[in-house]
Amino acid sequence: MTSVLHRPERGGPSHSVADVLPFIARRLALAVATVLAVVTIAFVLGRATGEPGALLLPDNATQAEVDALNAALGFDRPIIVQYLDTLVGLVTGDFGDSYRLRESALGLVLERVPATLELAFWAFAIGLVLAVAAALAIQLTGSRVLRAVAGWAGAVRQSVPDFFFALLLVLVFSVLLGALPSLGRTSYASLVLPVLTLATGQFVMYLRLLDASLSEQAGQDFVRTAIAQGQRRSTVLFTRMLPNAALPVLGMAGLNLGGLLGGTVVVEVVFAWPGLGQLLTTAVSQRDFPIVQAGLVFVALAFVIVNTAVDVLVRRIDTRTAAA
Amino acid sequence: MSAVLRIEDLRIETTGDAARALVDGVSLHVDRGEALGVVGESGSGKSLTVLAALGLLPVGTRIAGGRIAIDEHVLVDVEAGVWAGERELRALRGRTAAMVFQDPMSSLDPLRAVGSQVAAAVRVHAPMSRRAARERAVELLTSVGVRDAAERAGTRPHQWSGGMRQRAMIAMAIAHDPLLLIADEPTTALDVTVQAQVMDLLAEVRERTGSALVLITHDLGLVAENSDRLAVMHHGRVVETGATRAVLDAPAEDYTKRLMAAMPAESERTAPAVRAGEPDALVADRIVVEYRVPGRKAPVRAVDGVSLRIAAGETVAVVGESGCGKSSLAKAVLGVQPATEGAVVLGGEPVRKELAARTAAERERAQIVFQDPYSALDPRLTVHELVAEPLRIRRAYSRAAVTKLLEDVGLDDGHAKRLPGQLSGGQRQRVGIARALALRPKLLVLDEPVSALDVSIQAQVLELLDGLQREHGLGYLFISHDLGVVRSIADRVVVMQQGRVVEEAPTAQIFRDPQHPFTRQLLDAVPRLDGPRRGSRPLPVS
Amino acid sequence: MTAQLAAVAAPTPRRWRPRPGAVVGAVMLGAVLLLTAVVPLLPAFDPMGQDLRAALLPPFADPAHPLGTDALGRDLLSRIALASAVTLGMTLLIVIMNAVIGSTIGILAGYFGGRLEALITLLSNVTLAMPVVLLLIAICAVLRPSAGLTILVLGCTWWVGYARVTRNVAASLRRQDFVVSPLTQGGDTFWVLTRHIVPNIWPHTLIIAATDIATIVLITSSLEYLGLGVQPPVPSWGSMIFDGQRHLGGDPWLALLPGIVMLLAVGGAQFLSQQFTAETRGGLLRKGGMR
């Protein structure tokens, strides 16, 4: 109901190229801002622990040696210069060398990425596919039992952190049954437990979302219209309800995928999986900041790219929000 | 005589522990080609009765008794244990019986092109290639008056206007030449002039296809002009039924009489309440309201040089369709959306254009009663607190004052303790009025104050407003899109279109001798009890 | 006039029937709370005392240590009780901080709109887009991990969820007529904010806070597992599980017991919060307020 005191309606939504461009430009600007924020924070953190010279050399090193090392690493320059240097490095892909290993920080990070991606990808794919299947099954059968079981099982899974669930899996499958390996990235079998840990979490999350979304769609007027025209309920489910229900889930998926990349950290530590997360935690405890910086930026970049892509996709599908 | 739809003794209950009867012992029938009007207020069970026929009852309700037959095919017979299966119902839906729902915006899938949805409706009962279906869809859309149907078919619902969307719904409904068309409040969500067009379309379509029609509505005038027979429903029962003309000319039942009495008056206000010698409630001089819309270079002029004068005790109705500027004018008077140019004088004293710049004393002089009784009251406050608020703001609170205000609008202590959620729409509007009167304004802006209420309640509230005006000498700025509603309460009518006043005259003159073509259009669109039948005669009974 | 009004009867009070989930949740969480409150009062309570002769005792073996001991001979029951007190206390603080910060920001953004809203939206989007957990790890590691640091960092970064919801609610409330009405009667913005906006928003805040409790517990325990957050010798669920992981083959209870207690606490909190959410939403709907 409109009232006297509403703002006036804006013009209708547009989706010509000329109007989409500012949107993309805005999203890109946001992406850049985010990455910059992350780089800055990483930079600040890096400098907050003080200069690495003292940390890297043995205790009996003289002050002169410490100063020399610091100068060699570029720590005697003014802060602003160091910061700009970091930014330049961001663009050229040069994050300096790891303090400990004397290799390119970015190189070390990239080396570990495939392992993390492996986990993340499988967990996401399996979790999502199973969730869609389960949500559709619940809608098609209308079974209250199915929904209740899914609800309870999901609640239990979400009541434990990933690392504990992983340990339970290890206890059952590695210790008691001896069927699956629990450490390292050695074989396809070693992939099972870590992926299972993450995938179950994903599955529960997506199922909850999809179920709520689909249930909301079921009550919509246009669903009633389609049924009143004689369409099969299953057809209506797939052609009308699912696309509309997928939208909010798609938005969440974008956010979640990025979170997944960061969230594999704990699982990698539990299973000694040689991925990016494990590299970062080690680097942090060893105060090896080039690696920390390179890793954080990489993850942030990946996250931002995924999110932007998802946002553009959603906007393309649902032109209603184009006006907003 | 074969009935297209026959409902006997239908009983619908809620599911769950405490089963309540929503519809009880209802019998209706519709013959081939004829139009049946089912009239009732909200909660009368009129929609449920007909939805039951197609198995479209909402979750939480079920058929508990009776018989339903479509085209003499028994679908449901509770006694005999006959329950049509989903497949049987699917064959009927959209083909033998088709529905047109109330709100075309939410009734269409927002993510798919309109043409594609019409095509989908076509393909349900007539398997054909996608291309053939799309061509048929364009044909259908053209036949219901959608211009440039081929191009528009590719666009999505939110790019179509309300009237156009309803036409698309009708196109989908007639795709298979149904025996029966069911229209559930098909025009309630539309502007008045568009309503008339849609009803004309329905009549024309029926002439082409020979379909019968069940028209479900709360609007007696609509039924008077569009049906051969009618059934009046109240609290889940059929109160009266018969040939439309016969029933309306000589209603037998009390409830029917009450409904008719509550229709917008057939005559104007007899005794004006204007008080001479008091300063005018409102003098608005050459008001211009402009605002900028991002993305457009020139600002939009919502109100373009409108002058208005309302004397103490006078009611001036500002009528027009959505977007004509009547709301912006009201906003400017109140100061909520300040006028860009022009002057506002309230109760004889000039006031600043912006609300925030006005002193408290200035703000008191004009108060507003909102349209939507649901968003006008803070759901967490009791009635007493709601009416007390303006007094508290001005530090003039006293229990007695609040009680008196409530009494004046017909609410007592029992109501004072309740929350808005526990009140009916009419009662909420009364609270809104009491609150508006708390600071003794000179001018009351009434923004569509009764359009959200049931017809029988509308009359009560209008009566209340009339009484209050006489007692306090208030000036009323009455905004409405419906000429019929203002007839009984307005002294003068101002008709607005696109930000300008196109006609202004005493009420009687507007109704008897409208000058401007737009006024005539508005007048024409008001469904009347004695109005001419739209469209054709019903087909002869076979 | 009064006689004509159709009396809408005052609605019969709804019988409060708890859902099965809520009962289970209350039992689960209640058990943990009981543990946390009662055990420290027992005379045998001693979470730090080491006794290498009584190391690695299994549960129920020794009445002096009902749940067994760890590798250093410390009583597990006491440690678990202390750990839960610590974690739950931290979580409460963090959630309150987030709720207050996030809701305030959200209300300001939603009500005032304009540039303020744009700025806050930018801030929210940037915060959301950052790999928060990784950053937390980095921050907590650099600045010498401690419970206080964790509380501070989590309390200041998790507010976006609240801000988003309260912003949307505030923005739609602003459009409601009952918010504008006091302005026409002489009220100022402060009046509107305090009497109409905030009271209508805090049920939403509570709903988010209720579900957030579980999330925050999980995050803090993950941080503890990685060696951040509460430092030894003060026990925490995460660090106890980390220590126990080594013994998974021979003495699995070291890792399992804290995990089970955590499951009870978090699961219980979740079930209860679901019931709470449903009730509050139902109340909002009944009153005709925002959904």
C260 and chain A: CB distance < 8 Å anywhere? no
* Residue B318, helix vs strand vs coil: strand
Please compute the mean of the pLDDT values over residues C97-103 and round it to a whole number: 92
Asked if pLDDT for residue A298 goes beyond 90, the answer is no
Cβ contact (<8 Å) for A300 and C130?
Answer: yes
CA distance C262 to chain A (A): 7
Q: Please tell me the distance from the alpha carbon of residue B297 to that of residue B7, in angstroms, as a whole number.
A: 59
Question: Cis (ω within 30 of 0) for the bond into B178?
Answer: no
Q: How confident is the model at residue C100 (pLDDT cuts 50, 70, 90)?
A: very high
Cβ contact (<8 Å) for A232 and B336?
Answer: no
Please, what is the average pLDDT of chain C?
81
Predicted confidence at residue A20, as pLDDT, reads 62
Please compute the mean of the pLDDT values over residues A238-247 and round it to a whole number: 86
* Residue A244, helix vs strand vs coil: helix
- The contacts of residue C41 (CB under 8 Å, 6+ apart) are none
Please, are residues B419 and B379 in contact by the beta-carbon 8 Å criterion?
Answer: yes
Predicted confidence at residue B529, as pLDDT, reads 67
In the beta sheet, which residues pair with residue A197?
none
More confident residue, A56 or B243: B243
Cβ contact (<8 Å) for B418 and C184?
Answer: no
Please, are residues C35 and C79 in contact by the beta-carbon 8 Å criterion?
Answer: no
Show the tokens assigned to A30: 């946001």
C129, C180, C252: residue with CB nearest A307: C129
Please, are residues B62 and B13 in contact by the beta-carbon 8 Å criterion?
Answer: yes
Asked if pLDDT for residue C4 goes beyond 60, the answer is no
Asked if pLDDT for residue A7 goes beyond 70, the answer is no
DSSP A231-242: --HHHHIIIIIH
DSSP A6-33: PPPPPPPP--SHHHHHHHHHHHHHHHHH
Q: Please tell me the distance from the alpha carbon of residue C243 to that of residue A60, in angstroms, as a whole number.
A: 33
CA distance C290 to chain A (A): 15
**Single-letter amino acid code for the residue at C110:** G
Predicted confidence at residue C7, as pLDDT, reads 35
% chain C with pLDDT above 90: 10
Please compute the mean of the pLDDT values over residues A44-67 and round it to a whole number: 70
CA distance A114 to chain C (A): 18
Please, what is the average pLDDT of chain B?
86
Name every chain A residue with its beta carbon within 8 A of the beta carbon of C133: 259, 262-263, 265
Q: Which of C125, C145, C284 lies closest to C202, judged by CA?
A: C284
Please, are residues B504 and B316 in contact by the beta-carbon 8 Å criterion?
Answer: no
Q: Please tell me the distance from the alpha carbon of residue B106 to that of residue B104, in angstroms, as a whole number.
A: 6
Regions of chain B where pLDDT drops below 70: 1, 263-268, 270, 529-542
Q: Which of B314, B337, B472, B427 lies closest to C184, judged by CA?
A: B337
Asked if pLDDT for residue A47 goes beyond 80, the answer is no
Can you say how many angstroms the Cα of residue C238 is from the centroid of all Cα atoms in its chain? 17
More confident residue, C15 or C269: C269
Which tens digits make up the pLDDT trace of A174-213?
Answer: 888 887 877 877 788 888 889 999 999 899 989 988 888 8
Q: Give me the helices (H) in C185-252, please.
A: 189-192, 198-225, 237-245
Q: Which chains touch C (3 or more CB pairs under 8 A)?
A: A, B
Q: Which of B43, B48, B53, B78 lies closest to B64, judged by CA?
A: B78
Please, are residues B113 and B153 in contact by the beta-carbon 8 Å criterion?
Answer: yes
Q: How confident is the model at residue C11 (pLDDT cuts 50, 70, 90)?
A: very low
Show the tokens assigned to B49: 């009765």
- The contacts of residue B340 (CB under 8 Å, 6+ apart) are B288, B289, B290
Q: Mutate which of B99, B109, B176 to disrupt the A interface (most A C-beta within 10 Å)?
A: B109
Please, are residues B5 and B27 in contact by the beta-carbon 8 Å criterion?
Answer: no
Please compute the mean of the pLDDT values over residues A159-178 and round it to a whole number: 87
**Single-letter amino acid code for the residue at A29:** A
Q: Please tell me the distance from the alpha carbon of residue B10 to that of residue B49, in angstroms, as a whole number.
A: 8
Q: How far apart are the first and last CA of chain B?
A: 7
Which tens digits make up the pLDDT trace of A73-121?
Answer: 667 777 777 778 777 777 777 777 777 777 787 888 888 888 888 888 8
Predicted confidence at residue A129, as pLDDT, reads 93
Kindly list the distances between the CA atom of residue B499 and the CA atoms of B282, B382, B495, in Å, as whole numbers in the listed order.
19, 39, 10
Show the tokens assigned to C3: 């006689």
H/E element holding C45?
none
Q: Which chains touch B (3 or more CB pairs under 8 A)?
A: A, C
Please, are residues C260 and B351 in contact by the beta-carbon 8 Å criterion?
Answer: no
Predicted confidence at residue B118, as pLDDT, reads 93
C20 and chain B: CB distance < 8 Å anywhere? no
Q: Please tell me the distance from the alpha carbon of residue C145 to that of residue A215, in angstroms, as a whole number.
A: 44
Exposure string of B80-108, with b = 16+ CB inside 10 Å and e = fewer, is eeeebeeeebbebbbbbbbbbbbbbebbb
Predicted confidence at residue C12, as pLDDT, reads 44
Please, are residues C200 and C168 in contact by the beta-carbon 8 Å criterion?
Answer: no
Q: How confident is the model at residue A49 (pLDDT cuts 50, 70, 90)?
A: low
C212: Cα within 13 Å, side-chain hemisphere: 24
Predicted confidence at residue A32, as pLDDT, reads 82
Predicted confidence at residue B264, as pLDDT, reads 65
Q: What is the ipTM of this complex?
A: 0.82
Please compute the mean of the pLDDT values over residues A128-136 and round it to a whole number: 92
Show the tokens assigned to A149: 């079981």
Taken in order C26, C32, C35, C40, is the CA torsion positive or negative? negative
Q: Please tell me the distance from the alpha carbon of residue A118 to that of residue A271, in angstroms, as a whole number.
A: 14
Q: Please tell me the distance from the alpha carbon of residue A106 to that of residue A97, in angstroms, as a whole number.
A: 8
Name every chain A residue with its beta carbon within 8 A of the beta carbon of B109: 222, 226, 240, 244
Question: HEC string of B130-173?
Answer: HHHHHHHHHHHHHHCCCCCHHHHCCCCHHHCCHHHHHHHHHHHH
Predicted confidence at residue A16, as pLDDT, reads 47
Predicted confidence at residue B530, as pLDDT, reads 65
**Single-letter amino acid code for the residue at B476:** Y
Q: Which of B279, B347, B313 lies closest to B470, judged by CA?
A: B313
Please, are residues B314 and A31 in contact by the beta-carbon 8 Å criterion?
Answer: no
Predicted confidence at residue B35, as pLDDT, reads 93
Q: How confident is the model at residue A134 (pLDDT cuts 50, 70, 90)?
A: very high
Predicted confidence at residue A322, as pLDDT, reads 44
Residue B240: count other Cβ atoms within 10 Å of its Cβ: 19
* Residue B36 buriedness (CB in 10 A; 0-12 / 13-18 / 19+): buried
Cβ contact (<8 Å) for B302 and A8?
Answer: yes
Predicted confidence at residue A95, as pLDDT, reads 72
Q: Which of A246, A247, A241 lies closest to A225, judged by CA?
A: A241
Chain pair A-C, CB pairs under 8 angstroms: 131
Please compute the mean of the pLDDT values over residues C64-87 and round it to a whole number: 86
Q: How confident is the model at residue A50 (pLDDT cuts 50, 70, 90)?
A: low
Characterize the bridge pairing of strands B35-39 and B212-217: parallel
Crossing angle for the helix pair C114-129 and C160-175, to the nearest 10 degrees? 150
Show the tokens assigned to A210: 């999809």
DSSP character at residue B453: S
* Residue B235, helix vs strand vs coil: coil
Please, are residues B261 and B529 in contact by the beta-carbon 8 Å criterion?
Answer: no
Asked if pLDDT for residue A5 goes beyond 50, the answer is no
CB within 8 Å of chain B, chain C residues 177-206: 177-178, 180-187, 191, 195-196, 199-200
**Single-letter amino acid code for the residue at A21:** L
Show the tokens assigned to B165: 């969307």
